[in-house]
Amino acid sequence: MVTDSVALCPWLFVVGSASCYDSGMAPDPEIRITRSDRRRTTISARWIDNGAVIEILAPARATDAELAPIIEKLKGRLIRHKERGETADDKDLARRAAELNREYFGGKLRLSEIRYVTNQQHRYGSCTPATGVIRISHRLAATPSWVRDYVIVHELAHLLEANHGARFWKLVNRYPKVERARGYLICLGLEGEGDEPGETDVE
């Protein structure tokens, strides 16, 4: 997925494809706009209600006029992904986790299972250190590989450190794109702006 940040006014940025979408290619889904005071400068979109509705997540002060062209771009991105039939592949996920284990942890971590799940709408993943099981939100399947890699490294680090203390972040920060990936996840609504990242991802 190609993602751009496009300046629309001095404070407003959109995360989504820069190319326009021809709405004649497919029936228009229902659009639902959710505004929030906690969301400052980003606008994102996601499927909800089993793919029947596109929810637009926007800052409270974003006007309908400002949102209209942005919604068209984000809607196009989501529909194109759906049409391409992008799927969450657990085998590819497990293979990548093994590679990242070797690259950043010397292959020493004992990971028993990693798989995509559909019941994590507001967090990107979770880890159960006692069993070595990691679950990744299916929403991550359509994100850039460097974002998925960060999430995998984050959850792998929990196999060694079950909290978000200094030793945990020292492990995670071996991955070079931590801050960039966290910013992307904020735009997806999977990490709060200014919140402690992943505060509920250890089970």
Name residues of the chain where pLDDT drops below 70.
Answer: 1-28, 50, 81-88, 121, 191-203
- Listed in sequence order, the residues at least 6 apart from 144 whose beta carbon sits closer than 8 Å to its beta carbon are 1, 3, 184
pLDDT at residue 28, as a whole number:
66
Q: For the purposes of burial, counting CB atoms within 10 Å of the CB of 187, is it exposed (0-12), middle (13-18) or buried (19 or more)?
A: buried
pLDDT at residue 185, as a whole number:
86
User: Could you tell me how far CA 65 lies from the centroid of its own chain?
Assistant: 27
Q: What tokens appear for 159 in the block?
A: 């196999």
CB atoms within 10 A of CB 149: 21
Q: What tokens appear for 26 in the block?
A: 């497919």
pLDDT at residue 156, as a whole number:
96
pLDDT at residue 192, as a whole number:
52
pLDDT at residue 203, as a whole number:
56
Q: What tokens appear for 170 in the block?
A: 């020292």
pLDDT at residue 39, as a whole number:
87
Q: Domains in the chain, start-ordered, CATH in brackets?
A: 4-83 (no CATH), 90-187 (3.30.2010.10)
Cβ atoms 82, 51 nearer than 8 A: yes
pLDDT at residue 25, as a whole number:
36
Residue 148's closest CA among 200, 190, 106, 194?
190
Average pLDDT, the chain: 78
pTM of the model: 0.58
pLDDT at residue 180, as a whole number:
92
pLDDT at residue 149, as a whole number:
95
pLDDT at residue 88, as a whole number:
62
